[in-house]
Amino acid sequence: MKFGVVVFPGSNCDYDAYLAIRDHLNEPVEYLWHDRSDLQGCDAIILPGGFSYGDYLRVGAIASHAPIMDAVKEHVAVGGLVVGICNGFQVLCEARLLPGALIRNQSLRFSCRDVYLRVETAATAFSSACQPGEVLKIPINHGEGNFTAAPEVLDELESTGRVVFRYCDRNGAVSEVTNPNGSRRSIAGIVNERGNVLGMMPHPERAVDPLLGGTDGMKLFESMRQAMNAVQGMAVS
């Protein structure tokens, strides 16, 4: 299996994602430039954080029309895994691969700190290495991480088990106080209907080394590896 990390002009977490896969997950990984038209045989794609194209127009808006995104959409259509982290989540929403939008933090301030996430479901390719209700400590680093969507969309996400992560305290309790950006229903990460696209604002690639404060982020990448191994095992059999 091979991971690909998309690099847009303005990406600044691409190297962190690359190292998380290469040095901690110990799997092959390569960079995929925004102007490419193919994914170079990568099995899972990471859209990293940063400020793609300077976040002009709207966050993620220009990046959603980059040539590489046509290949990403084709990858999604055939069941390939894609995770968008922070700015990558914004890109996925702009590309209509995920519903909703990310708007200014409710505080109107940039936020950079550790937060706690409650795993709402382990029945996804991105959370299978977790337990439902488990609390992860993952850092955030954003000014426009306030997830919003129409009430009926939020209801559908909840009823179909597509809310994967929710902001909480260290004990798993959810409240306005534990919500760092004002996201509706404290949502921190969601998947698409098929379950092969995840968008999340917190940065798991920054929580892969004890020296950086913890390794909870590895559970997301390990889940992806397990999902891909399962698919490859079925193909072989």
Strand bridging mode 111-119 / 135-142:
antiparallel
Of the residues 34, 75, 142, 203, which is catalytic? 203
Of the residues 13, 42, 86, 168, which is catalytic? 86
Of the residues 94, 120, 144, 205, which is catalytic? 205
- Reduced to 3 states (helix: H, G, I; strand: E, B; else coil), residue 28 is coil
Integer Cα distance of 90 and 103 in angstroms: 9
Q: Which two tokens stand for residue 210?
A: 């004890």
Decide: 180 and 137 in contact? Cβ < 8 Å: no
Tell me whether residue 13 is one of the annotated catalytic residues. Answer: no
Tell me whether residue 86 is one of the annotated catalytic residues. Answer: yes
Tell me whether residue 193 is one of the annotated catalytic residues. Answer: no
- State the Cα torsion 190-191-192-198 to the nearest 10°: 110
Q: Which two tokens stand for residue 188?
A: 């921190």
- Reduced to 3 states (helix: H, G, I; strand: E, B; else coil), residue 119 is strand
- Residues catalogued as catalytic: 86, 203, 205
